[in-house]
Structures are given as structure tokens and as C-alpha cells.
Structure 1
Amino acid sequence: MDPAQALIRTTLNPTARIAPGLAGRAAFELFRRPLRRSRVRPAEREVHRRAALERLTVHGKSVVGYRWGSGERPVLLLHGWRSRASRFAPFVPRLRALGLSAVAFDAPGHGDSGGRSTSVLEYRELVLRLQDRYGPFEAVIAHSLGVCAAFGALGDGLRAGRLAAVSGVSEVGFFPAAFCAGLGLDAAVERALRGRIEQDLFAGDAGAWDRYDAAGRAGAVGLPILVLHDEGDDVVPLGQAHRLKRAYGEQLDLVVTRGLGHRRIIGEPTVVDQVIGFISAGLGVTAA
């Protein structure tokens, strides 16, 4: 284990037994911060450079938005944790060839946006603000945390024709469990962290866990869904995709890949082809 992770574990585990509130606050501060920012990769630079930039704000944080195209017939792109909008560069020219605009943002604490932390609630607010600006979306393409945020927003008023979900998290409760497991934190820390999330992020609303459970809100999300997930994903287990499949049944097509992991899958040409084909089918055209 990394020395910093070992220090966190040996500090928070005993603290949770004697001062759970203190342990919960400390864990929450770590939990909500990505700690490092992804840079634009060389292969993404040209597409990234061509984007029209716009500014948004959420909770006092300056957020960089991106648009490729006029904004007409928009497709929303939602990146994952410790990622950025430029990861969708392989999709942009394909969407433009279909006559679609691509709309995205770097979440707070990510990419070129301000702030040091973010949450699915901030994603939701930004998504709905972009919807006010551009109108309903032809489709949403989301990765990882973005998938959880997309399902939550779809249940809360986001309007879209289709959803392509790559390596997605199906429930917000997955995040504290995965965070604690990754650092070797015990059940007492996880309980304290969940309590702090509920108090500070959800304003004391215990029902928010269920509202951000995509499998539990299948009746509120009535659009066609394509889920792509790698069998060897070591960040978000394949079980999250199977959980969605059980909830949505024939409404959802599940494609399981091999050897792409959690991050490489989003730019894999065959995955891009499948997502573009799925979106173009909803438009009644053939993908370029």
C-alpha cells in the first residue's frame, strides 16, 4: 500500500472507534476531492482545441464548458472521476458527421475547472443548466461517475433520446464503499463517512441514497439504454452493469468487453463504433 494510504488507514480506523464524527469529517474531505487532475492527452489536443468554451458556475466554483457545433441537436458527454471532457475526443467528429453538436464540461476539481471537489449533485445541477441552454438532448454518453449522475438527472428532469453508459456506477452508495475498501478503512469509518455524506451532501435526506440508485428508479427512466462494461474492470465491477440489466430488462442492451479495463474502454474504437451506431439508430440514419 502507498505510504500515504497506509497513514490514512492507521489514523482513521482507530479514530472512528473513539470519535466517529471526527473520522467521518476527515474521510469526507478526502472522499470528495479527486486529488489530481487529468491533462489533455496528445491524441485529444486537436479536438479539444476546436471546442467553443463557455463558463458556468456551481456552488461558487467556476466550471469550463465545451461545445463542438452550434448547439443544435446536442449530445451530452459526462466524464468520470479524475477524468475530463477531452476523453470523449474520439466521439466528437463522429457525432458532428451525424449533424449533432457535442456538449460537455469539466466537473469542479477536474480538468480546467475551478474548485477542489465535486459530487453527483453538482453534475446534476450543471446538466440541467445545460439543458436550459440547449434544449433536450438527442443522447447522453457517460463514463463511470458520469453514468450515476446521468441516471440521477434523468430521473429529475433531464430529457434525452438515448443513454450510452460506459463502465458505469449504478448507485451512489457504491462510492463510499469503494473508497473505504480501496484505502483499507473498516466498517466504522464507512458508517461515519455515509453519515457525513448524508448530512453535508444530502442535507440530512436519507432518501437521497435511493433517489440516486439507478436500478431502483427504472420506472422514471424510459429511454433506450446501451451499457458497455469490461469484465476485468478493477475500478467499477461488472456487477454494477448486471445490476442495471436486471432492473431495466429489454430496455437495456449490455455489451461486455474484455481486456479494456475501466479507462481505456472509453476511447477504444470498437466501443466508439458501438456507441455511435446506437445513437444513429435513434436518429434513423446509418453511422459514418
Structure 2
Amino acid sequence: MPKKTPNPTKSLKIPFFIIVSVKLCAIISHKLVTIYAAKLFTTPIKHKIPKRELKMDSESIQNTLHIPAIHKDITVYEYGKNNKKILLVHGWSGRGTQLFKIADSLLENGYSIVSFDAPAHGKSKGSTTIMSEFIASLLEIEKQYGPFEIAIGHSLGGMSVLNALKNGLKVKKAVIIGSGDIVQDILDDFISKLKLKPEISVRLRDYFENRYHVKMDDFSAYKAAKEIEIPVLVIHDKNDPEVPVKAGIHIHNNLKNGSLYLTEGLGHRKILGSHDVIKKISEFIGEQQ
């Protein structure tokens, strides 16, 4: 019997037992369910490295890097020995080797790769993290491993690249793939998947803002895009079930020097291994400014 191929345009579902437990918390109190939802929102799933990523994993130089701004350690991967460096940034519940096909292509084009496991991801320690810790990690990696020619980010990694650029990351070009956009939309979608009332989304935003002393909307990708001068290639699938294509289009519309490449039928993760996508990235990187 042939193996069933996962549908790349089908959204990942939250386990039933989590939905039940969340609903029970909601019955008890709004405060309790907000705290529980916050815990779920900031806890990534650590997946085992799939066989396809083992080559990059085994051939990389791996070191532990301390990020002073957040008092956490992360695992950093150095892949290749060329002088020109590109920084790769995975998304939520991803790994530093997840963009391996893009990495292999860039190695062939004369670049070396630096990637990392974000806090609480992959081989990095911890159980919870937030986007600001991705951004802090990027900025510290630049200090220790840079300078970089290009930064490429997937999903939350794309949002993090844009925010890091706003906060001083220096690269000549950037590529973001399947990036989220408006933070409140992301919170709304998460609460909807938990089958909770929309008002919990507002409570969740307020909870994060009070805890971390930030305005959540300040991390929205389109806001960062408005302040970026360098060329940015935005790649998004029209049928992405995790992050709607309107996010990529909206980010592109707010860039001063942006290009938009829309794919079809690749979903949120399969897009990372697409020959056409990798070719587009290589062409973009090779274009004269």
C-alpha cells in the first residue's frame, strides 16, 4: 500500500486533549485560561531531526553561544568554509538544519551558512520562548559570527529577520518565506484554533504586554518593513494553511524595495525544498543592486 503523502495545504491541528483542557480552564476563570494559553503559545514542539537534515547536522561545526540580552544559550551551526556568509533563521518549532536544501544550494554558489536553534528549539535548552528572543539571538550572532551578506528567514524567522533589520542587523539583502505579519492576527488565529472566545485573544495580548513591557503590535512585520531600505524578497504560498498569503502581500506592500514571489500548492513547509523557490532565491541574491 502506497505511503500517504501529507497535504502541504492542510493546517496542523491542535490535539483534542489540549482543546478540552483549555475549555475546562475557561470555565474556571478567564485569568487561568489566559495564563494557560500564554504557556501554550510560548512552548514550541521539539521535533527529532529528520534523516534528510542529518548531512547538514553532521557536517556543521556546532557551538553554544550565550545571548546576554536574554540570559540564554543557543546552539549555532557553521556550515561551509567560504568567506561570504548567509544567516538562516528557522520558524516556530523548527531547527537550524530545517532550511538545509536552501543551505546546500547556497554552498554550491560560494557562500557559507550560519544558522541556529532558537531558544527552546532543537538542541538549545529551555522550554519556552518568544519572538523577541529570536531577534536578540540574531543580533548577538551577527556580533560573534558576522558580517553577513544575506539573511533568510522562514515563518516566525521571517518576522524576526525584519525586526532585527529594524533594530540594526546589517545585510545587503533579505529573503522572508511564509512570514507572519500582524501580531494580533496571529494571536486571534491561535485562540480560534483553541476554540476559545475572541475576547481571550485580547486578554492574551494584554498579558504579554504587561509581562514583557512591550507593545505586541510593534513586532508586526509590516511595521518593520516600512523602515527597511535594502532589497527584500518576499516568498509565500497562495494556499499556505498556517500563515495566509495576505500576510506576505501586506509585508511586500509596505517595503520600500521589495519583490514578491507567490507559489501554489507548496503550503507552509514544503516551500523550503522547492526547486523553483531555491532558484528564485539564488537569482535574487545574484542580482546586481
TM-score, L = length of structure 2: 0.88
**Helix, strand or coil at the partner of 2:98:** helix
1:46 aligns with 2:52: no
State the Cα distance separating 1:39 from its structure 2 match.
Answer: 2.2
Structure 2 match to 1:273 = 279
State the Cα distance separating 1:71 from its structure 2 match.
Answer: 7.2
Taking the aligned partners of 1:55 and 1:71, their CA distance within structure 2 comes to: 21
**Helix, strand or coil at the partner of 2:65:** strand
**Helix, strand or coil at the partner of 1:57:** strand
Taking the aligned partners of 2:32 and 2:18, their CA distance within structure 1 comes to: 18
Structure 2 match to 1:11 = 24
Taking the aligned partners of 1:105 and 1:20, their CA distance within structure 2 comes to: 36
Structure 1 match to 2:122 = 111
State the Cα distance separating 1:60 from its structure 2 match.
Answer: 4.2
Query: Structure 1 135/62 Cα, relative in aligned 2: closer, same or farther at 3 Å?
Result: closer
State the Cα distance separating 1:70 from its structure 2 match.
Answer: 4.1
Structure 1 match to 2:33 = 23
Please give the per-residue CA displacement for 1:92-132, whole angstroms capped at 9, x wherever unaligned: 23222332221110112211111111111111111111111
Structure 1: which 5+ residue stretches go unaligned? none
Match of 1:177 among 183, 188, 213: 188
Structure 2 match to 1:55 = 64
Structure 2 match to 1:239 = 246
Query: Structure 1 6/170 Cα, relative in aligned 2: closer, same or farther at 3 Å?
Result: closer
State the Cα distance separating 1:217 from its structure 2 match.
Answer: 3.3
Q: How many residues align?
A: 274
Taking the aligned partners of 1:71 and 1:28, their CA distance within structure 2 comes to: 42
TM-score, L = length of structure 1: 0.88
Structure 2 match to 1:222 = 229
Please give the per-residue CA displacement for 1:240-276, whole angstroms capped at 9, x wherever unaligned: 0111122126x21111111101111111121111112
Taking the aligned partners of 1:222 and 1:44, their CA distance within structure 2 comes to: 34
1:145 aligns with 2:156: yes
Taking the aligned partners of 1:178 and 1:75, their CA distance within structure 2 comes to: 32
Q: CA RMSD in A?
A: 1.9
Please give the per-residue CA displacement for 1:151-210, whole angstroms capped at 9, x wherever unaligned: 11110011111111111112333332221111111122112211111122x32x3xx334
Amino acid of the structure 1 residue aligned with 2:223: G
1:33 aligns with 2:43: yes
Structure 1 match to 2:258 = 252
1:164, 1:227 within 8 Å by CA — same for their partners in 2?
yes
Amino acid of the structure 1 residue aligned with 2:56: V
1:55, 1:63 within 8 Å by CA — same for their partners in 2?
yes
Query: Structure 1 115/195 Cα, relative in aligned 2: closer, same or farther at 3 Å?
Result: same
Query: Structure 1 27/51 Cα, relative in aligned 2: closer, same or farther at 3 Å?
Result: same
Q: Which range moved further: 135-144 or 63-72?
A: 63-72
Structure 1 match to 2:110 = 99
Taking the aligned partners of 2:46 and 2:133, their CA distance within structure 1 comes to: 17
Please give the per-residue CA displacement for 1:45-98, whole angstroms capped at 9, x wherever unaligned: 112210011112344443111011347322110001111111111122322233
Q: Which range moved further: 154-163 or 215-224?
A: 215-224
**Helix, strand or coil at the partner of 2:241:** coil
Amino acid of the structure 2 residue aligned with 1:128: L
1:148, 1:172 within 8 Å by CA — same for their partners in 2?
no
1:171, 1:214 within 8 Å by CA — same for their partners in 2?
yes
Taking the aligned partners of 1:137 and 1:79, their CA distance within structure 2 comes to: 16
Taking the aligned partners of 1:155 and 1:93, their CA distance within structure 2 comes to: 28
